[in-house]
């Protein structure tokens, strides 16, 4: 059968397709590279995948063919089944002149006559050549798509013929058991229940589930017109489980009157319901990218689960609901799972492929927890429903153990102040404070230059500093540089014989240099310097506080990054702010440091 698609509130057939989907289908009709078009329009410039592109195309064409038949244009439905690339070019089998001569009577033609005959048969453009036929088919396909765009979308009705919505093969199989109209089909389902397809020629459970899922998608225009009990549940589908871009929620579940909504006067979002709020959150993460798609997936799952499983808007969920969602992730119901890499336009699409691993559950919870935290900060939600839920109960990983407590860091900091003025000690003081106060990675510390530093005057008086750190994928992030780190750097510059006025130095000047020259300290050597510093600190503290000394003696460079993140989260730094500061691509990486949203 062909997959039908849930229409939006618009009436044109194009409303059945998102703009990117329509552009993708046009690209196929125009003969552009299908995998590249799929990556450009549907995967946000992700990696091209020919197999997934072809699967997505077939799903979209299924819906368009179904709509064409419903509009009384079976010719267009048939046309959309033709693939220009499937045409074989007869010219590829064109014989050589000698092969052509061998097929003729010997000594019958002169050389000139042979050439003229060969040219007449193979040399000029043939109106029947595959190239010309492909081009004409592409033109007809584009005209067909333009015609469909201009039409009003049709909703299926019980009196419609099955052949008006399903392809000929499915219609013929149903006609063999007396099912001619959609009303006949509905009556068959209600009469026989979930195993209605038994007795229908060449109709298996999967094909039956697809038909039943399609009927349930159109229950508003089909079910209300017939008396009798509701449609039986599909064995592998649930009504309403559709991608975010096709989700239509009733007023009772859209969150416009959610119990956890914040005061409307304080809300900074111009949205009316939960779906729009989720879309606003997604917009904060830029254009379509791998991270954006990962966030969409988790938000989509959470929103669908709320309205289908809990029968509640997302903005009415509480801590008990969040605990139930965490448990649901361990074993999603069968109707929520589908084949891997099924296109979003395919009727068999489902949010899950099966149970999530512990790590995947942690990512899922971290993302939706971050979503709710952001909605709280925009005053769309009054409180984060995940806040009261214990980390372990929520399926979240425990905070990293390789970190210093605030008290232990203060011991290290006081030890640095007691160190003498020697250049090596000043350098160690600056490096340790810079690493702890910024949370930079080891490689970033080694690569830092004066050119990274930014100075800004606030309110006409206060000067604040920051580091603009290049990212791994060509992006940048701004990391605040506290006054303590700036002052340590000025002292360190003096030891190096450089100008205390930081920005007066050469932009290429490394922030951390060798003691015997202006060259930057390598990452490997920097690691050794920091580890040796921790060991010296531990040795000096071993008598006064053996427990703290043992902990500090184990520390390394990444401990300072963990310590920075944990201490910042404890001070109330929002998760999304901390994520940007640390340069994490995923909210899940940052979530291990935050205990509340």
Retrieve residue 148's tokens.
């469909």
The residue extents of the domains of the chain are 1-89+129-153, 90-128, 155-239, 244-377, 406-591
Residues 178-211 have pLDDT tens digits of 888 888 888 888 787 777 888 888 887 777 877 8
Q: What is the mean pLDDT of residues 59-63?
A: 78
Inform me whether the pLDDT recorded for 392 exceeds 70. Answer: no
Q: Any idea of the CA torsion for 420, 424, 425, 428, to the nearest 10 degrees?
A: 170
So what's the pLDDT on residue 305?
94
- Confidence class for position 5, pLDDT limits 50, 70, 90: very low
Nearest to 268 by CA among 281, 286, 258: 281
So what's the pLDDT on residue 13?
44
For 495, counting Cβ atoms within 10 Å of its Cβ (0-12 exposed, 13-18 middle, 19+ buried), the class is middle
Inform me whether the pLDDT recorded for 227 exceeds 60. Answer: no
Inform me whether the pLDDT recorded for 332 exceeds 80. Answer: yes
So what's the pLDDT on residue 340?
76
Q: Are 482 and 437 in contact, with CB atoms under 8 Å apart?
A: yes
Share of the chain above pLDDT 90, in %: 17
Q: What is the mean pLDDT of residues 309-314?
A: 91
In the block, tokens 């997934």 appear at: 52
Phi/psi for 469 (5° steps) reads -95, 120
So what's the pLDDT on residue 261?
93
Residues 28-52 have pLDDT tens digits of 888 777 877 777 777 654 555 677 7
So what's the pLDDT on residue 15?
43
Q: Are 560 and 266 in contact, with CB atoms under 8 Å apart?
A: no
Q: What is the mean pLDDT of residues 87-100?
A: 59
- Confidence class for position 399, pLDDT limits 50, 70, 90: low
So what's the pLDDT on residue 62?
77
Residues 412-449 have pLDDT tens digits of 999 988 887 788 888 898 999 999 999 999 889 999 99
- Confidence class for position 231, pLDDT limits 50, 70, 90: very low
Q: What is the mean pLDDT of residues 364-391?
A: 84
Share of the chain above pLDDT 70, in %: 78
565-569, long-range: CB < 8 A, 24+ apart: 565/439, 565/590, 565/593, 566/399, 566/400, 566/403, 566/593, 567/406, 567/409, 568/439, 568/593, 569/593, 569/594, 569/595
So what's the pLDDT on residue 101?
64
In the block, tokens 């119990």 appear at: 259
Q: What is the mean pLDDT of residues 230-234?
A: 43
Homologous superfamily in CATH for domain 406-591: Intergrase catalytic core (1.10.443.10)
SS3 for 261?
strand
Phi-psi region of 181 (alpha: psi -120 to 50; beta: other; left: phi over 0): beta
So what's the pLDDT on residue 351?
92
Q: Are 266 and 379 in contact, with CB atoms under 8 Å apart?
A: yes
CA–CA separation, 84 vs 143, rounded Å?
15
Task: Compute the Cα dihedral for 265, 266, 271, 275 and give only its sign.
Answer: negative
So what's the pLDDT on residue 410?
92
Residues 126-157 have pLDDT tens digits of 444 566 677 788 888 888 887 777 776 667 77
Pick the residue with more confidence: 490 or 62? 490
β-sheet bridge partners, residue 454: 466
Inform me whether the pLDDT recorded for 512 exceeds 90. Answer: yes
Phi-psi region of 329 (alpha: psi -120 to 50; beta: other; left: phi over 0): alpha
- Residue 325: C-alpha distances to residues 24, 302, 307, 361 (Å): 35, 8, 12, 10
Q: Starting at the edge strand that comes first in sequence, how are the strands of the sheet with 476-481 ordered?
A: 453-458, 462-470, 476-481
Mean pLDDT score of the chain, rounded to an integer? 78
So what's the pLDDT on residue 436?
93
């Amino acid at each position: 059968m062909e997959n039908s698609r849930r229409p939006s509130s618009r009436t044109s057939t194009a409303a059945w397709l998102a703009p990117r989907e329509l552009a993708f289908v046009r690209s196929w009709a125009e003969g552009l590279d299908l995998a590249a078009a799929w990556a450009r329009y549907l995967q946000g410039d992700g990696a091209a995948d020919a197999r997934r592109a072809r699967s997505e195309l077939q799903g979209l064409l299924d819906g368009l063919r179904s709509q064409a038949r419903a509009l009384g244009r079976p010719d267009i439905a048939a046309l959309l089944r033709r693939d220009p690339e499937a045409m074989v070019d007869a010219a590829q089998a064109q014989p050589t002149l000698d092969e052509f001569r061998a097929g003729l009577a010997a000594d019958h033609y002169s050389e000139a006559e042979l050439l003229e005959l060969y040219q007449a048969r193979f040399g000029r453009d043939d109106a029947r050549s595959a190239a010309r036929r492909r081009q004409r088919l592409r033109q007809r396909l584009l005209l067909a798509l333009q015609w469909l765009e201009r039409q009003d979308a049709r909703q299926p009705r019980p009196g419609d013929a099955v052949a008006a919505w399903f392809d000929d093969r499915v219609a013929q199989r149903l006609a063999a058991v007396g099912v001619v109209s959609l009303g006949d089909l509905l009556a068959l389902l209600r009469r026989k229940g979930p195993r209605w397809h038994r007795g229908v020629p060449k109709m298996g459970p999967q094909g039956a589930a697809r038909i039943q899922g399609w009927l349930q998608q159109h229950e508003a225009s089909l079910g209300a017109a017939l008396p009798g009990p509701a449609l039986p549940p599909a064995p592998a589908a649930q009504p309403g489980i559709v991608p975010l871009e096709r989700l239509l929620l009733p007023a009772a579940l859209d969150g416009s009157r959610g119990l956890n909504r914040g005061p409307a006067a304080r809300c900074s979002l111009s949205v009316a319901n939960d779906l729009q709020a989720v879309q606003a959150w997604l917009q904060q993460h830029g254009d379509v990218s791998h991270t954006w798609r990962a966030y969409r997936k988790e938000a989509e799952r959470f929103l669908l689960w709320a309205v289908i499983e809990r029968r509640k808007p997302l903005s009415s969920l509480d801590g008990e609901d969040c605990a139930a969602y965490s448990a649901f992730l361990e074993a999603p119901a069968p109707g929520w799972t589908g084949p891997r890499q099924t296109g979003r336009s395919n009727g068999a699409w489902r949010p899950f492929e099966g149970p999530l691993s512990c790590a995947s559950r942690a990512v899922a919870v971290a993302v939706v927890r971050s979503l709710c935290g952001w909605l709280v900060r925009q005053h769309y939600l009054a409180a984060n429903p995940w806040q009261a839920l214990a980390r372990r109960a929520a399926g979240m990983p425990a905070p990293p153990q390789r970190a210093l407590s605030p008290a232990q860091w203060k011991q290290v900091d006081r030890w640095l102040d007691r160190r003498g003025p020697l250049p090596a000690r000043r350098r160690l003081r600056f490096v340790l404070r810079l690493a702890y106060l910024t949370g930079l990675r080891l490689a970033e510390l080694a690569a830092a230059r004066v050119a990274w530093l930014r100075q800004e005057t606030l309110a006409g008086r206060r000067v604040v500093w920051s580091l603009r750190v290049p990212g791994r994928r060509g992006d940048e992030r701004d990391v605040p540089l506290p006054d303590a780190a700036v002052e340590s750097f000025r002292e360190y510059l003096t030891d190096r014989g450089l100008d205390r006025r930081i920005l007066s130095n050469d932009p290429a000047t490394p922030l951390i240099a060798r003691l015997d020259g202006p060259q930057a300290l390598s990452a490997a050597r920097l690691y050794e310097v920091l580890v040796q510093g921790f060991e010296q600190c531990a040795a000096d503290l071993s008598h006064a506080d053996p427990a703290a000394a043992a902990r500090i003696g184990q520390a390394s460079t990444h401990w300072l990054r963990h310590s920075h993140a944990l201490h910042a989260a404890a001070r109330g730094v929002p998760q999304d702010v901390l994520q940007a500061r640390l340069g994490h691509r995923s909210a899940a990486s940052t979530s291990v440091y935050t205990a509340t949203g």
